[in-house]
A and B are shown apart, each in its own frame.
Chain A
């Protein structure tokens, strides 16, 4: 028999025991372990997912921040570049303007210097010329000459035209003071009576006269009454001559100054442009380095000026300049002189009312004097030169020199 029933039963029992054993020792622990591991893995995966989500969120956030930062940076960069550009432009403009101003100033100063020099020269020349004339005439003047002058004066009174005669007569009659007759030398009694007679005859009335000596007249006689004046003197003629010369110089100067101004109007700007161009070339040569703008400009200016002056120096430029300066000068000087010359030019001049006749009379003489005064200082004074002359001279010299300077600037 192949089947042993005891063995069968035993094997069934054995098998059941084995089932229990394996269930207890194998399946359950293994399955539990697997379950635990799966749970753990699931938990870890969930954690990982959560962390991943968090990380993604953070990454997004950082990305966003990064983008923002980039944008801000680029914006700032643009801003800075823009600012630098404008700053550069501004600096360039400033430098250009400064250079323009500098060159203009220099040009102006140069012109002023030349102008002043020419003014001084012409004034001096004028003064010298008149001083010489005055001196020569003063030297010639003498009592015998005075006699002749008195004759001429009386003749003049007689030959006066009607209108002037009437106005002068009225002035003499209405005057509270006696009419003043001034002469360079003391008039002898005969001549005084002759003048008195001539006056009486001219105005057909008894006219009170006061005689006075005025050496600044050089040579001549002058009648002043209540602001009206009749005169014949060499100073008078000299003043008239001065005025004529001044007017001539003024006309000439004005015409040429205009031409000069037109010619030179463009010059600084063209120059500046050239200098600017050259400065930029230098800046490029130096490799676009900042901080040398002023040096570059100086160098460029130097080069350009050199370039321009080289061919021109021998040519017309050298000629033009002095001429312009010589012409510029009289314009300023004509003004004070104009005033001075005005009074003696017309025979009968209205004198400002508030001023006394005495003051008005001395005025032109005083202003004419500086030339002779200057000469008197330079050379030892001649014998004929009277001392009192020094006093009235000192003041006008100062005013005559300072005034034109102020006006010309």
Chain B
């Protein structure tokens, strides 16, 4: 009984090791990349398109719309990062229907890595958008006294992101494992279905939170230029 796929180690050489988390992540990456490549290899720009292309278009435009709903003025700029977050987490939980698969998001290492990515990405996007001074100035708002609290909130929310996702994913697999030992018939299937649902919800929550953080970092001074592009966008 192991809490995390990190504990399943296929190969180790000192610090470097190859555990189940990394292997399954690679698997997911391969599936995602090859799948996209296969589908987008023969993209049609006409009105007729394949079902796979249609699916991917729905996914991409759905994420795009979601980001725009949060309030980002340029959703496509953040689509690569936030979309990948969502797709990775969602696919990780979706593949739990494959027997013998351990979701990499069930490892605190993976969720921590994702949270760190968000933690790094937020100031990067903020600085890119507002400049270094502008971004750092946000920590002093509304007063200088708020600086430590702002820093603490930044760290704590990153931690919360990582732990929330880990907890949910790990709990899903843990519950499934425990239930399998108690009632091996039917009930684990229901729990597995529930796990799929929670996995999707977690993927949504994770990516939405990341979006909100980035939006908060970038749009502070945005309200002024925002009205201008709106009529332009309408045209």
- Cross-chain contact A29 with B40 (CB below 8 angstroms): yes
- Cross-chain contact B37 with A22 (CB below 8 angstroms): no
Q: Which residue of B is nearest A35, CB measured? A: B45
Bound form: Cα–Cα A12–B104 in Å: 12
Chain B residues near A8: list those with CB within 8 A.
109-110, 112-113, 116
- Cross-chain contact A14 with B112 (CB below 8 angstroms): no
Chain A residues near B40: list those with CB within 8 A.
25-26, 29-30, 33
- Interface flags for A1-15 (1: CB within 8 Å of B; 0: not) read 011111111111011
- Asked whether any CB of chain B lies closer than 8 Å to the CB of A79, the reply is no
- Interface flags for B41-71 (1: CB within 8 Å of A; 0: not) read 0011111000001001100110010000000
- Cross-chain contact B29 with A18 (CB below 8 angstroms): yes
- Cross-chain contact A11 with B114 (CB below 8 angstroms): yes
Segment with Cβ contacts to A, from B77-85, B145-153, B193-201, B217-225: B77-85
Give the residues from 12 to 50 in chain B that come closer than 8 angstroms, CB to CB, to chain A. Answer: 15-17, 19, 21-22, 25-26, 28-29, 32-33, 36-37, 40, 43-47
- Asked whether any CB of chain A lies closer than 8 Å to the CB of B213, the reply is no
Chain B residues near A10: list those with CB within 8 A.
22, 25, 113
Q: Which residue of B is nearest A26, CB measured? A: B36
Chain B residues near A7: list those with CB within 8 A.
6, 17, 19, 21-22, 107, 109-110, 113
Chain B residues near A14: list those with CB within 8 A.
22, 25-26, 29, 113
- Cross-chain contact A3 with B114 (CB below 8 angstroms): no
Q: Which residue of A is nearest B76, CB measured? A: A31
Given A15-B88, A19-B81, A22-B80, A30 contacting B117 (CB threshold 8 A): no
Nearest-neighbour CB distance to chain A for B110, whole angstroms, equals 5
- Asked whether any CB of chain B lies closer than 8 Å to the CB of A21, the reply is yes
Chain A residues near B202: list those with CB within 8 A.
none
- Cross-chain contact A18 with B88 (CB below 8 angstroms): yes
- Asked whether any CB of chain B lies closer than 8 Å to the CB of A40, the reply is yes
Given A14-B26, A30-B57, A22 contacting B36 (CB threshold 8 A): yes
- Interface flags for B88-129 (1: CB within 8 Å of A; 0: not) read 100000000000000010011110111011000000000000
- Residue in contact with A36 in the complex, picked from B19, B22, B45, B104, CB distance below 8 Å: B45
- Asked whether any CB of chain B lies closer than 8 Å to the CB of A34, the reply is yes
Chain B residues near A29: list those with CB within 8 A.
36, 40, 43
Q: Which residue of A is nearest B9, CB measured? A: A4
Interface residues on B, range: 35 or more
- Asked whether any CB of chain B lies closer than 8 Å to the CB of A156, the reply is no
- Cross-chain contact A11 with B43 (CB below 8 angstroms): no
- Asked whether any CB of chain B lies closer than 8 Å to the CB of A16, the reply is yes
- Cross-chain contact A19 with B80 (CB below 8 angstroms): yes
- Asked whether any CB of chain A lies closer than 8 Å to the CB of B4, the reply is yes
Bound form: Cα–Cα A18–B86 in Å: 12
Bound form: Cα–Cα A272–B143 in Å: 125
Nearest-neighbour CB distance to chain B for A90, whole angstroms, equals 70
- Cross-chain contact A40 with B46 (CB below 8 angstroms): yes
- Asked whether any CB of chain B lies closer than 8 Å to the CB of A27, the reply is yes
Given A12-B113, A27-B60, A2 contacting B80 (CB threshold 8 A): no
Chain A residues near B17: list those with CB within 8 A.
6-7
* A interface SS class: helix
Interface residues on A, range: 20 to 34
- Cross-chain contact B112 with A37 (CB below 8 angstroms): no
Q: Which residue of A is nearest B16, CB measured? A: A6
Nearest-neighbour CB distance to chain B for A342, whole angstroms, equals 124
* B interface SS class: helix
- Cross-chain contact A18 with B113 (CB below 8 angstroms): no
Bound form: Cα–Cα A8–B33 in Å: 21
Bound form: Cα–Cα A23–B60 in Å: 11
Chain B residues near A12: list those with CB within 8 A.
113, 116-117
- Asked whether any CB of chain A lies closer than 8 Å to the CB of B144, the reply is no
- Cross-chain contact A11 with B104 (CB below 8 angstroms): yes
- Asked whether any CB of chain B lies closer than 8 Å to the CB of A17, the reply is yes
Bound form: Cα–Cα A291–B110 in Å: 109
- Asked whether any CB of chain A lies closer than 8 Å to the CB of B3, the reply is yes
- Asked whether any CB of chain A lies closer than 8 Å to the CB of B214, the reply is no
- Cross-chain contact A21 with B33 (CB below 8 angstroms): yes
- Cross-chain contact B83 with A22 (CB below 8 angstroms): yes
Nearest-neighbour CB distance to chain A for B67, whole angstroms, equals 12
Chain A residues near B109: list those with CB within 8 A.
2-5, 7-8, 11
Chain A residues near B4: list those with CB within 8 A.
2
Q: Which residue of A is nearest B17, CB measured? A: A6
- Asked whether any CB of chain A lies closer than 8 Å to the CB of B87, the reply is yes
Bound form: Cα–Cα A17–B29 in Å: 9
Bound form: Cα–Cα A29–B32 in Å: 14
Bound form: Cα–Cα A33–B166 in Å: 36
Give 6 closest A-B pairs by Cβ, nearest first. Answer: A11-B113, A7-B109, A29-B40, A26-B36, A36-B45, A25-B36
List residues of A whose CB falls within 8 A of some B CB.
2-12, 14-19, 21-23, 25-27, 29-34, 36-37, 40-41
List residues of B whose CB falls within 8 A of some A CB.
3-4, 6, 15-17, 19, 21-22, 25-26, 28-29, 32-33, 36-37, 40, 43-47, 53, 56-57, 60-61, 64, 76, 79-81, 83-84, 87-88, 104, 107-110, 112-114, 116-117, 166
6 A-B pairs besides A10-B25, A33-B44 with CB distance below 8 A are: A7-B6, A7-B17, A14-B29, A16-B117, A33-B53, A34-B60
